[in-house]
Amino acid sequence: MSDGVTVRADVLIIGGGMAAAWAAIAAAKTGASTILVDKGYVGTSGVTATAGPNHWWVPPDPVRRREIIERKWADGFELGDPAWMERIIDITWRTLPDLARYYPFGSDGRGGTYYSGVRGAEYMRALRTYAVAAGARILDHHPATQLLVDQDGAVAGACGHARLTGQDWKIHAPAVIMATGGCAFRSGLIGSHGNSGDGYLLAAEAGAELSGMEFSIQYTVSPAWASTRTLPYGAARYYDARGVEIIQPPRGHAHYQALGAALLEGPVYADLIDAPVELPPILHDIQPFTPPPFVRKGIDMFKQRWPIKLFGEGTIRGNGGLRIVDDMCGTSVTGLYAAGDAATRELVTGAISGGGAVNSAWALSSGQIAGAAAARRGLALRGEAAGKARMAGTVAMHPRLTEQPIDRKAIEADVDHHMNGYQHALWRSEGQLTQSLALLDAHWRMIGDHGRAQGLALVGLRETAAMVATARWCTAAALARKESRGVHVRVDAPGLDPGGNVRLLTGGLDQLWTRPESRSYAEAAE
């Protein structure tokens, strides 16, 4: 690939996180020729590698599983799918122990093995090793820039650029899995810099639909000078600059509103003196990336107060993404599958965040499902001659007007402000959302009218375009859902719409559209 040679595979996976790795494992195990391309290094890129993820881990007790599923369905405001929840729980339970050959699971303290919680960096390293052992070929630092589609509109592979060699690449494949993760809009969330919505844009250009994009408001509480993970902060108390405690609910949107309002007025400080005594000795083992910023600052995080910031997580711990149209994680584009945060997680979380545990189980299981399905398609079409394929990419490649420099830094700052800024995200209203969408539309037109780049510059410009596109879909969906449901809160529509228990689909590039999905999910729990 370093010399720019065009190759063919049965399955192409785009992405490098947990879902991509599990998809590569599942596809390669079937004997399908499997290539995984990532913009970073598989094993260190993405949010999993910097975290200590848990998994939705429920023993195979039918009664217990049914109780948990019913509760999750209700908590998700009637947008989840119990059949999908049961499936994800079961696949996770059966599959995660397979990693024991590559990952040193710990003890559960009762003579058994503790499978559900893993250390992100070691977990991703183990998944890489497992994928390679299964037969997958991994191409690091090979960001994809556009999909290929055939004359019938089916996916036919992808094109991209090899960062280290400076060569463009093209991979023909009749089955492609989009596992590029979610989009945090460059909030500074640890591990999320590469999560710029690329997969959403690539898929939408090929005709894919999105779902649940309005559910994009979620934050991580972290020290103000460095994003870390949230585990210790469940026991935190918060104080303003005068030392007055900020009284807020322990969780949910109102919790973030209280902290956001205080942060707009001045610094806010966290106090972990009430944290469980068992936590400090084991935190480094559970979430190894959390303590170092405090050590470097000379702060004892469990004995001193320190300033915080809310880091936006967008669709990473929100739940919007590419619409899933069948039980194989297929999208609305033939031959294109979606897994992990690149896909909507409404199937298992409804209108609320999947947090770490449910999202991790979804990444594992959707990766397995998509990998197996893509392999079946790829193997079935292996002997057929590849037809003529066209490149689906548009924005930043073919400017409509004269080519001009694009101020990516300014555009990305605007996107971050309107998607993660407390005053915008935490108090959504029709007027505020309309203003945000007008600005985002202007940025989209600017890139479409004047943006053009090649090579590594194209990778960067496409990232900017993908963030703008993702922000527009999120904002359009938030405008269309005129109620407050789950993590989507409208201050001008604070109640539930009795008819709002339908998923909201979104799509389009220059002209956005939104529409409710045709079915209601009220009957799903029956």
pLDDT (tens digit, 9 = 90+) per residue, 332-391?
999 999 999 999 999 999 999 988 899 999 999 999 999 999 999 999 999 787 778 999
Rounded Cα distance, 379 and 329, in Å: 17
Place of tokens 């999993």: 48
Let me know whether 274 and 138 are in one domain: no
Q: What is the residue range of 69's domain?
A: 7-216+315-391
Quick one: average pLDDT of 316-332? Answer: 96
Report the CATH number at residue 199: 3.50.50.60
* Domain count across the chain: 2
Quick one: average pLDDT of 22-45? Answer: 97
Q: In this structure, what is the dihedral angle of CA atoms 490, 494, 498, 502, given to the nearest 10 degrees?
A: 20
Residue 327 within a domain: yes
Residue 397 within a domain: no
pLDDT single digits (tens) 35-55: 999 999 999 988 998 888 899
| Residue 279, beta-bridge partner list | none
Report pTM.
Answer: 0.95
Contact 447, 395 (CB under 8 A): yes
Residue 370 within a domain: yes
- Does residue 175 surpass a pLDDT of 70? yes
Residue 105 within a domain: yes
Q: Among 277, 311, 345, identify where a domain stops.
A: 311
pLDDT single digits (tens) 71-128: 999 999 989 999 999 999 999 999 999 999 999 999 888 889 999 999 899 999 999 9
- Return the ∠ at Cα 175 (arms to 316 and 34), rounded to 5°: 85
pLDDT single digits (tens) 462-500: 999 999 999 999 999 999 999 999 999 999 999 999 989
Let me know whether 189 and 77 are in one domain: yes
Let me know whether 29 and 170 are in one domain: yes
Residue 501 within a domain: no
Report the CATH number at residue 307: 3.90.700
Rounded Cα distance, 470 and 512, in Å: 11
pLDDT reported for residue 231: 58
pLDDT reported for residue 525: 40
Contact 167, 2 (CB under 8 A): yes
Rounded Cα distance, 127 and 309, in Å: 32
Distances (CA, A) of 47 to 120, 178, 311, 316: 9, 16, 13, 9
Rounded Cα distance, 376 and 31, in Å: 10
pLDDT reported for residue 251: 72
- Phi (first) and psi of residue 242, to 5 degrees: -85, -5
- Of the pLDDT bands very low, low, confident and very high (cuts 50, 70, 90), residue 287 is confident
pLDDT reported for residue 230: 62
Residue 518 within a domain: no
Let me know whether 57 and 194 are in one domain: yes
Q: Among 311, 327, 346, identify where a domain stops.
A: 311
Pick the closest to residue 343 from 313, 375, 368, 315 (CA basis): 315
Let me know whether 122 and 237 are in one domain: no
- DSSP labels for 87-98? HHHHHHHHHGGG
- Does residue 523 surpass a pLDDT of 50? no
Q: Where are the beta strands (DSSP E) in 132-267?
A: 137-139, 144-150, 155-161, 168-172, 175-178, 210-211, 219-223, 237-240
Pairing of strands 137-139, 34-37: parallel
Let me know whether 103 and 224 are in one domain: no
3-class DSSP state of 515: strand
- Phi (first) and psi of residue 238, to 5 degrees: -125, 145
pLDDT reported for residue 31: 98
Let me know whether 96 and 187 are in one domain: yes
pLDDT reported for residue 160: 97
Let me know whether 306 and 319 are in one domain: no
Let me know whether 224 and 197 are in one domain: no
Q: Among 375, 391, 407, identify where a domain stops.
A: 391
pLDDT single digits (tens) 188-200: 998 899 999 999 9
Let me know whether 386 and 286 are in one domain: no
pLDDT single digits (tens) 225-251: 988 766 566 778 999 989 999 977 767
Let me know whether 262 and 320 are in one domain: no
- Does residue 23 surpass a pLDDT of 60? yes
Q: What percent of the chain has pLDDT over 90?
A: 82
Quick one: average pLDDT of 17-37? Answer: 98
Residue 510 within a domain: no
